[in-house]
Amino acid sequence: MRIGIICHPTYGGSGVMATELGNFLGRQGHSIHVISNALPVRLDQLNGNINFHEVMVDAYPLFQYQPYELALASTIVEIVRKEQLEILHVHYAIPHAYAAYMAREILKDQSIFIPVITTLHGTDITLVGKKPVYKAAVCFSINHSNYVTAVSKSLKEQTESLFEIKNPIEVIPNFVNIAGYGRADRELRQSFASKNQSIICHVSNFRPVKRIMDVIKIFNKIQEEKDSILLMVGDGPDRVAAEQLVDQLDINEKVFFRGKTFDVKSMLGISDIFLLPSETESFGLSALEAMASYVPVVASRVGGLGEVVDHEINGYLENIGDIDAMSKRALELLTNESKMSIFSASSRAKAESFSMSQISETYLALYKKIIDEKK
């Protein structure tokens, strides 16, 4: 099949899942064309079946904000025609679903018919999409997609409660390439921490919804009782404030901001605990990736995280903002070797139920069904 994937290029779950799906399908021999405003961080450019198309927006002084949606729609039209794509899979409703709808309508005028699948990932619905300035367009785009999926039951329910949805929504969860995750070698771990230190990790795009300050505060309480270091992987608008808080708490020597590293797997592979105290999570892909690395998760009890983390089995879920409870839960594991071993094994076992091969086959079956219906 010839498949177009439209996504954001960032560390957010939507961009990660979209590119990992593309990588997997490319390895299966399908022709994959990824369209984005920058090279996605995990895209496998060494795979000959993977093609990247950058959306270029020419600056024009008339516009206070450059019309990215128009540029994206036009790029989609061009790529569909040139590469003879059979289906478009757009990840994250804003602005991709709307741009894909426009591209599909333009192509209809040229007697080219291409179906669009929209996958909803979370904040495109729960945070951004419900704002009055976007709500009508998001609802319209969802209802005019040929097929709609959501990454968790929680997100499906929220979408249906926030919008007047006419299209059925199928839940197809996020996934992880189990084979690519595991414990990293001891030498790498020792380059970050001493033999008796624990390693705490957080991975995100450092947006306010991730509650980055809570990550720092939780870690500070942990390290007061158990010698530890914190790996902050990713980047975003709250990084400066986080660095300032680290300075105020005088824990600069114990917190490492790794930025937009391409080797997230190794960072997870040397970690002992993964912190995710988010305000909202539709699924929690970063938590799943940590669990695939045998790392228990301490997180907020929100959204779809309960579909990933089993409380008191492979991690802990506490109320949003409960710094004391989350630090206490992390210490329970860090100071109890037997419990840590049980939680680590259970984390990996749960992650295996979200294997890439199984869930990607679900998407492939959906693609084939929609393409067949078009004929």
Q: Which CATH superfamily is domain 2-175+355-374 in?
A: Glycogen Phosphorylase B; (3.40.50.2000)
Lowest mean pLDDT among 93-102, 123-132, 206-215: 123-132
β-strand partners of 199 = 229
**Six-digit token string for 299:** 């997180």
Mean pLDDT of 183-193: 84
pLDDT at 129 > cutoff 60: no
pLDDT at 98 > cutoff 80: yes
375 pLDDT band, cuts 50/70/90, is low
Q: What is the pLDDT of residue 188?
A: 84
Domain 178-352 has CATH 3.40.50.2000: yes
Q: What is the pLDDT of residue 356?
A: 87
122 pLDDT band, cuts 50/70/90, is confident
In terms of phi and psi (left: phi > 0; alpha: psi -120 to 50; beta: otherwise), the region of 94 is: beta
pLDDT at 282 > cutoff 70: yes
Q: What is the pLDDT of residue 220?
A: 97
Q: Do domains 2-175+355-374 and 178-352 have the same CATH topology?
A: yes
Per-residue pLDDT tens over the stretch 10-42: 766 788 889 989 999 999 999 999 999 888 878
- The reply to whether omega before 237 is within 30° of 0 (cis) is no
| Arithmetic mean of pLDDT over the chain | 90
pTM given for the model:
0.85
Mean pLDDT of 68-76: 92
pLDDT at 58 > cutoff 90: no
63 pLDDT band, cuts 50/70/90, is low
Domain boundaries, the chain: 2-175+355-374, 178-352
Contact 283, 308 (CB under 8 A): yes
HEC sequence for 128-183: CCCCHHHHHHHHHHHHCCCEEEECCHHHHHHHHHHCCCCCCEEECCCCECHHHCCC
Contact 4, 55 (CB under 8 A): no
pLDDT at 301 > cutoff 90: yes
